[in-house]
Amino acid sequence: MSSQNLPDFDALWDYSHPDQTETKFREILLHFPEDDPAFLELLTQIARAQGLQYKFEHAHQTLDQVERRLGEVAWRPRIRYLLERGRVFNSADQPARARPFFEQALDLAKQLHEDFYAVDALHMLAIIAPADRGLTLNLQAIQLAESSLEARARNWLGSLYNNTGWAYHALAEYASALETFEKAEAWQRSQGRLPETRVAVWCVARTLRSLNRVEEALSRLMTLQAEFESAGESDGHVFEEIGECLLCLNRPQEAHPHFSKAYEILIQDAWLVEQEPDRIARLKSLSEG
């Protein structure tokens, strides 16, 4: 296997199962000599998979292997190394240590006209920045992605619209947030991405509630819930937001069963339980009436 036949790593990723992704990448790694650029790129993605499994020490050790082989050449493996070193630090709650790696990745990606990775670096810098600076960085990323001739760079737009919508929301700029989330919904629909479209619809509804357009929000959510039910699925976040809308409308008895269903589902989300204990506690209280 040669670099020209290198698989698209991003297409092979399963972010819900980083352990399986790591195994897959290690199998592919066996086909490349250590002096092949593909070998180094694969190692960066193995490190990313390790970071997502909270194996931060192992991830840094893997990236150390890449760093020793990079030399002084400005090339794509260096961009990916910088991105993943930064991502591991950020996943380990060390954003200050992550920032210079993302900044270097951005500069190098621009130098090499690698729009996909430049957008990636901008979006990571936005994640670790304060809200106002994060908004500026997200808007820069959108501008780059929208103007890029690179299809993979344009594929960032759904995520970028979502992140930018939340950046506006965090600054209480709800009208701009709504406009951006509606753009996200339209973009995801145009790509035929059903799960992502549903997320965008939820974001639109949540922002409508922030704008005190609660009846509109509830209508969107009930339609969304019906879609899930018709597919034999359910979503705890949708149940939760329906409950919140009903509370705003002074309909607590109707809200109660929705909070109960939300709690039943979301209590199983280990990340949410760890990161947002107050939210889970509130759901539990509301589910108990």
| Domain interval for residue 59 | 15-112
Asked if the structure places residue 279 within a domain, the reply is no
Mean pLDDT of 122-131: 96
Q: What mean pLDDT comes out for the span 51-66?
A: 96
| 48 in a structural domain | yes
Which residues lie closer than 8 Å to 212 by C-beta, 6 or more apart? Answer: none
Helix (H) or strand (E) holding 81: helix 76-91
Does residue 178 form part of some domain? Answer: no
Q: Is residue 100 part of a domain?
A: yes
pLDDT, tens only, 169-202: 999 999 999 999 999 999 999 999 999 999 999 9
Mind listing the pLDDT tens digit for each residue in 241-265? 999 999 999 999 999 999 999 999 9
pLDDT band for 5, please (50, 70, 90 cuts): low
Residue 56 and residue 49 in contact, taking contact as beta carbons nearer than 8 Å: no
In angstroms, rounded to a whole number, what is the distance separating the alpha carbons of residues 37 and 75? 9
Q: Within a domain: residue 93? A: yes
Instruction: Examine residue 217 and state whether it is found in any structural domain, yes or no.
Output: no
Is the pLDDT score of 9 beyond 80?
no
Q: Does residue 122 belong to any structural domain of this protein?
A: no
Q: How confident is the model at residue 2 (pLDDT cuts 50, 70, 90)?
A: very low
For the stretch 67-78, pLDDT in tens is 999 987 668 999
Per-residue pLDDT, 10: 74
Q: What is the mean pLDDT of residues 113-140?
A: 96
Which residues have CB under 8 Å from 81's CB, separation 6+? 40, 44, 63, 66, 67, 70
CA distances from 250 to 207, 223, 243, 244 (A): 19, 21, 11, 10
Q: Which structure tokens are listed for 95?
A: 């954003």
d(CA 25, CA 40): 11
Q: What is the CATH number of the domain that holds 64?
A: 1.25.40
What string of H, E and C letters represents the secondary structure of 36-61? CHHHHHHHHHHHHHHHHCCCHHHHHH
Q: How many structural domains is the chain composed of?
A: 1
In a domain, residue 195? The reply is: no
pLDDT at 66: 94
> How many Cβ atoms sit within 10 Å of the Cβ of residue 233?
10
**What local confidence, expressed as pLDDT, does residue 4 receive?**
52
The pLDDT tens digits for 198-252 are 999 999 999 999 999 999 999 999 999 999 999 999 999 999 999 999 999 999 9
